[in-house]
Amino acid sequence: MGADYEQLLKRAKSALPQALSSGERFQVPEPDIVTEGKTTILRNFEDIVAAIRRDPNMVLTFLLRELGTAGVQDGKRVVFKGKVTAQQVADRMKAYIESYVICTECGRPDTHLVKEDRVQMLECEACGARRPVKAIKKPAKVEEKILEEGKVYEVMIQDVGKKGDGIARREPYIIYIPGTAKGSVVKVYIEKIAGTVAFGKVHRE
């Protein structure tokens, strides 16, 4: 069995150069994410950007917009405000690569961005194809509304207002619920929403 394994290993190694030279092994490092308090750190941002050969500022701007959060580059890392998962970052990077890196003609990542009459074009160094950069398509599925009138939600009372009403938050909404105490978790029936302020009452089943 040992000899067979050695032979297989040799065969696998001999097959590697072709695979690498065909461009099929374009690999972007997986996001290395750690949470520190109320921030999330992407530790290998510089490695990811180097792999896709794009301007870090452009990639960061895209990530922040798509993740809906704030953040700054700190050396090789990016520090995001709030909690962000590795999967969220990986999904956004995949979307970025599909739109801003991969050639749709030959599927290779050997491209660069050029501006032509204010339109950003992706030019492929491998096959010479050019195409306008596609805007990122939003998922077709209808996003579930964060808060709707007439529905019941479980919330935690984070504060108490001047009039004694409990205050809960469900971004971007602030919900006022009379007769609730700070720190309690309640089910609230949403009676009215005005802008980003909602008014509700404790829902008793």
Q: Are 118 and 133 in contact (CB under 8 A)?
A: no
pLDDT category of residue 142 using cuts at 50, 70 and 90: very low
Residue 165 has pLDDT above 80, yes or no: yes
Average pLDDT, the chain: 85
Residue 135 has pLDDT above 80, yes or no: no
Residue 39 has pLDDT above 80, yes or no: yes
Q: Are 166 and 178 in contact (CB under 8 A)?
A: yes
Query: 79, exposed or middle or buried, with CB in 10 Å at 0-12, 13-18, 19+?
Result: middle
- Per-range mean pLDDT, top range of 23-27, 106-110, 135-139: 106-110
Distance of alpha carbon 50 from alpha carbon 53, whole angstroms: 5
pLDDT at site 140: 46
Instruction: Summarize the confidence of residues 36-46 as an average pLDDT.
Output: 95
Structure token pair of residue 86: 């590795």
pLDDT at site 20: 39
Name the more confident of 140 and 100. Answer: 100
Residue 138 has pLDDT above 70, yes or no: no
Distance of alpha carbon 186 from alpha carbon 189, whole angstroms: 10
How far from 204 is each of 22, 91, 132, CA to CA, in Å?
64, 40, 55
pLDDT category of residue 141 using cuts at 50, 70 and 90: very low
Strands 197-202 and 173-177: parallel
pLDDT at site 3: 61
Q: Which domains does the chain have, with CATH numbers?
A: 23-132 (3.30.30.170), 152-202 (2.40.50.140)
